Chain A
Amino acid sequence: MTDTEVGPVRAGAAHDGRPDGMVQLLDQHGVRHTHPDHEVDLEPEELLGLYRDMVLMRRFDSEAEALQRKGELGLWAGSRGQEAAQVGAGRALRRQDHVFPSYRDHGALLTRGVDPLHILSIFRGTDHGGWDPVAAGVHPYTLVIAAQMLPAVGYGMGVQRDGAVGTGDPERDTAVIACFGDGATSQGEAAEALNWAAVFNAPVVFFCQNNQWAISEPVSRQSPVPLHRRAEGAGMPGVLVDGNDVLAVLAVVRSALERARNGGGPTFVEAFTFRMGAHTTSDDPTRYRLAAEVDAWREKDPLDRFRTYLTAEGVLDEDFEAQLAHESEALAERLRAGVPALPEPDPVSMFDHAYAEPHPQVQAERDEFLAAWEQHDRDVHAGGVL
């Protein structure tokens, strides 16, 4: 990464609706471009791997939405439109890196090997997220906007103290990625996180998915300047990347992570993208968003352009597509069968993990709860009326 991104970037849009200064390697027609600072050179299998991730992520999303409609999930926060951003960022990570996600970063989690059923357990309400954060290298989802950003910086400072930055050993050097939305940049804690990371040169990549809307509020209600320019004030490079271009996201995030691992400090990456669906399944975007805006973004679909490119390059053929369709359907089937079968939590288990050390009050409440519960259960089984 060079420092060329630091410095004013003019607000406004270029002739093709693309903000000035946005890194793009694959335009919306699937045409490959080059960039002086950000490049990737991938083998065909790697390209197909990215494509596969994105297709599976989209299938995961549509199946989750369908499951919500069928009443199997209480809520769903969809990620359609953000496949390139999340897969590009996820595939830029190394095994030892750590992700601090928001609640919509399903694609990044899938690239980390997190079981999709673990993600859905949150939205079904059986669990707060079933994965092992240490083993997966993925922090639990964060519902409180921007609250994950300071812990991400602290984690990076821990990495520094462990001597896992700038050793030159690619298996050891570690970086952290904090994922958040455009709305999150308005929180005071977001400003604190950027400042701390810059002051302590923490190995953190701030990955902002600017999907243009924070529920009903457009990004112009969060910031009058392009979001990546927040970086300037904090004292770190800010890069604007086409969030619907998986190659550009991969290139930009990869080099930002590399810089962090090498001791170069934090970077702010703004992935310019769009949330195609509702904020969540409880939301009604027609109250605040014009269909024309959604249609315009449909033209920039991250999957379509990548498919066009890969096909034109002769990397993607019908065999692979057929195999992938098969795999997608298998994933959907696994979700359809797996979600209703997610184990119902044992009510007593809610008492199990609030404290590590014995806590007499909680113990007493647990005993009281068990006694009442067993009592009622017995009554029910005896046919008694409570």
Chain B
Amino acid sequence: MEQMAIGKAINAGLRAAMERDPRVLLVGEDIGALGGVFRVTDGLQKDFGEDRVVDTPLAEAGIVGTAIGMALRGHRPVCEIQFNGFVYPAFNQITTQLAKLRARSRGRLSLPVVIRIPSGGGIGSVEHHSESPEVLFAHTAGLRVVAPSTPHDAYWMIQQSIASADPVLFLEPERRYWQKGDVDTDLGPGQVTPLHRARVVRPGTDATLVAYGPTAKLALDAAAVAAEDGTDLEVVDLRSLSPLDVDTVAESVRRTGRLVTVSEAPTFHGPMAEVAARIQESCFYSLEAPVKRVGGFHLPYPAARVEEHYLPTVDRVLDAVEQSLAA
């Protein structure tokens, strides 16, 4: 067991994947000498060389588009998008090419490309550094979209993503890069939670909170506060948005009878709309109250001094829990 921050755990996971498989290479802006603006690739160029840790021209369509081409030649590129709001220039390559080539070639083409994107806000930054664009990709068939929330998951999920034969969008919880936790680096095959599996990270009986990425910790914080008042909340970390492990959430909701979802992404047409709809389908007779969603508003991400009002907070989560319990 090692103590690591999430950013460091991703770094260690990348290193392990690169050591294991010489076809793995990293591509992105400023990932070499600088080690990335969040230092996630720190030291890797020094150890693996400029052919495997490639500082690219400043062009996101180029990063993803050429990664597709390299993957077609059997390489396994891991792309870094510097900040969430800068994935849009690559949107065309991701949605029209990367996501669709396997289906279009009837499985003859394989696209083992990983796209790492810092996601979510809460770091007090300027425009386009705090967005949660995951639903755009979760809605695009042909992509897997995963979101670790702990150092342990970050370490293993990046390696699972790289090993996947499918393209994976790997969302890194930007404001949690420095959050430390235990990482068990010695697990064998079968001991690591599968990439697409959700996990109950806190058992409880009164209501279920479901979250992923940066809001997983928020949900745990809210559950801790609620516990002081005698409310026992279960917390499920989705870990993957596509595919979505509805079964794990449904099992939880059947026990607790109540569901509150928590995301930074806007609720309106957001990722949790799918969770709510599916739970309503599968757990209609177990639900004691309507599913409540807490998330960002249907607004462009606001200026930094307002973001605390935009992002879900412990208070907003507890308000929703209260409403659910009162219903």
Closest to B32 in A: A216
Chain B residues contacting A145 (CB-CB under 8 Å) are 58, 86
A187 partner, pick from B58, B127, B129, B310, beta carbons under 8 A: B58
The answer on a CB contact under 8 Å between B89 and A189 is yes
B305 partner, pick from A124, A351, A373, beta carbons under 8 A: A124
Given contact pairs A126-B303, A216-B34, A282-B37, A350 touches B315 in the complex (Cβ within 8 A): no
- Using C-beta atoms within 8 Å of the partner chain, give the interface range for chain A: 35 or more
Q: Is A287 an interface residue (CB 8 A)?
A: yes
The answer on a CB contact under 8 Å between B125 and A365 is no
Interface residues of A in 340-361 (CB under 8 A from B): 344-345, 347, 349-351, 354, 359, 361
The answer on a CB contact under 8 Å between A143 and B309 is no
Closest to A121 in B: B303
The answer on a CB contact under 8 Å between B89 and A215 is no
Chain B residues contacting A223 (CB-CB under 8 Å) are 57
Chain A residues contacting B302 (CB-CB under 8 Å) are 345, 350
A37 vs B59: C-alpha distance when bound (angstroms): 35
A210 vs B59: C-alpha distance when bound (angstroms): 17
The answer on a CB contact under 8 Å between B34 and A288 is yes
Chain B residues contacting A365 (CB-CB under 8 Å) are 268, 297-299
Q: Is B30 an interface residue (CB 8 A)?
A: yes
Interface residues of A in 68-125 (CB under 8 A from B): 74-75, 103, 122-125
The answer on a CB contact under 8 Å between B297 and A369 is yes
Interface residues of A in 110-162 (CB under 8 A from B): 122-128, 143-145, 147
The answer on a CB contact under 8 Å between B62 and A186 is yes
Interface residues of A in 162-218 (CB under 8 A from B): 183-184, 186-189, 214-217
A351 vs B59: C-alpha distance when bound (angstroms): 33
The answer on a CB contact under 8 Å between A75 and B126 is yes
The answer on a CB contact under 8 Å between B298 and A345 is no
Closest to A218 in B: B55
Chain A residues contacting B201 (CB-CB under 8 Å) are none
Q: Is A386 an interface residue (CB 8 A)?
A: yes
The answer on a CB contact under 8 Å between B298 and A144 is no
- Using C-beta atoms within 8 Å of the partner chain, give the interface range for chain B: 35 or more
Q: Is A334 an interface residue (CB 8 A)?
A: no
Q: Is A376 an interface residue (CB 8 A)?
A: yes
Q: Is A362 an interface residue (CB 8 A)?
A: yes
Q: Is B325 an interface residue (CB 8 A)?
A: no
The answer on a CB contact under 8 Å between A186 and B306 is no
Q: Please, what's the 1-or-0 string for A209-251, where 1 marks a CB less than 8 Å from any CB in chain B?
A: 0000011110001110000000000000000000000000000
Closest to B38 in A: A282
The answer on a CB contact under 8 Å between A125 and B57 is no
Smallest Cβ distance from A139 to chain B, in angstroms? 14
Chain A residues contacting B316 (CB-CB under 8 Å) are 372
The answer on a CB contact under 8 Å between A144 and B85 is yes
Smallest Cβ distance from B61 to chain A, in angstroms? 5
A126 vs B86: C-alpha distance when bound (angstroms): 22
A46 vs B313: C-alpha distance when bound (angstroms): 55
Smallest Cβ distance from B224 to chain A, in angstroms? 14
A365 vs B303: C-alpha distance when bound (angstroms): 18
Given contact pairs A143-B127, A144-B85, A350-B310, A128 touches B303 in the complex (Cβ within 8 A): yes
A42 vs B126: C-alpha distance when bound (angstroms): 39
A103 vs B128: C-alpha distance when bound (angstroms): 12
A256 vs B86: C-alpha distance when bound (angstroms): 31
Closest to A379 in B: B315
The answer on a CB contact under 8 Å between B297 and A127 is no
A103 vs B315: C-alpha distance when bound (angstroms): 35
Q: Is B246 an interface residue (CB 8 A)?
A: no
A236 vs B314: C-alpha distance when bound (angstroms): 57
Closest to A344 in B: B305
Chain B residues contacting A373 (CB-CB under 8 Å) are 309
Closest to A215 in B: B30
The answer on a CB contact under 8 Å between B299 and A215 is no
A134 vs B174: C-alpha distance when bound (angstroms): 35
The answer on a CB contact under 8 Å between A214 and B297 is no
Q: Is B33 an interface residue (CB 8 A)?
A: yes
Q: Is B135 an interface residue (CB 8 A)?
A: no
A183 partner, pick from B34, B58, B297, beta carbons under 8 A: B58
Given contact pairs A214-B58, A222-B57, A362-B297, A287 touches B34 in the complex (Cβ within 8 A): yes
Chain A residues contacting B315 (CB-CB under 8 Å) are 372, 376, 386
Chain B residues contacting A287 (CB-CB under 8 Å) are 33-35
Closest to A186 in B: B57
Given contact pairs A127-B303, A345-B306, A350 touches B318 in the complex (Cβ within 8 A): no
The answer on a CB contact under 8 Å between A216 and B127 is no
A143 vs B309: C-alpha distance when bound (angstroms): 23
Given contact pairs A123-B126, A216-B30, A221-B55, A188 touches B303 in the complex (Cβ within 8 A): no
The answer on a CB contact under 8 Å between A350 and B297 is yes
Given contact pairs A287-B33, A365-B298, A222 touches B58 in the complex (Cβ within 8 A): yes
The answer on a CB contact under 8 Å between A372 and B35 is no
The answer on a CB contact under 8 Å between A188 and B299 is no
The answer on a CB contact under 8 Å between B29 and A288 is no
Closest to A352 in B: B299
Q: Is B88 an interface residue (CB 8 A)?
A: yes
Q: Is B273 an interface residue (CB 8 A)?
A: no
The answer on a CB contact under 8 Å between A361 and B298 is yes
Q: Is B184 an interface residue (CB 8 A)?
A: no
Given contact pairs A186-B58, A216-B34, A376-B315, A354 touches B29 in the complex (Cβ within 8 A): no
A347 vs B86: C-alpha distance when bound (angstroms): 26
Q: Is B276 an interface residue (CB 8 A)?
A: no
Q: Please, what's the 1-or-0 string for B289-318, where 1 marks a CB less than 8 Å from any CB in chain A?
A: 000000001111011111101100001101
A223 vs B62: C-alpha distance when bound (angstroms): 14
Q: Please, what's the 1-or-0 string for A361-386, where 1 marks a CB less than 8 Å from any CB in chain B?
A: 11001000100110110000000001
Chain B residues contacting A354 (CB-CB under 8 Å) are 298-300
Q: Is B2 an interface residue (CB 8 A)?
A: no
Further contacts, 12 of them, CB under 8 A, given A143-B127, A143-B128, A351-B299: A74-B124, A74-B125, A124-B304, A128-B303, A186-B58, A188-B89, A214-B58, A216-B32, A284-B34, A288-B34, A345-B302, A386-B315
Give 18 CB contacts A-B under 8 Å: A74-B126, A122-B127, A122-B303, A125-B303, A143-B129, A144-B89, A145-B86, A187-B61, A188-B61, A214-B29, A215-B30, A284-B34, A350-B297, A350-B299, A350-B309, A359-B298, A361-B298, A375-B319
Sort A-B residue pairs by CB-CB distance and give the 5 closest, nearest first.
A125-B304, A186-B57, A216-B34, A183-B58, A347-B309
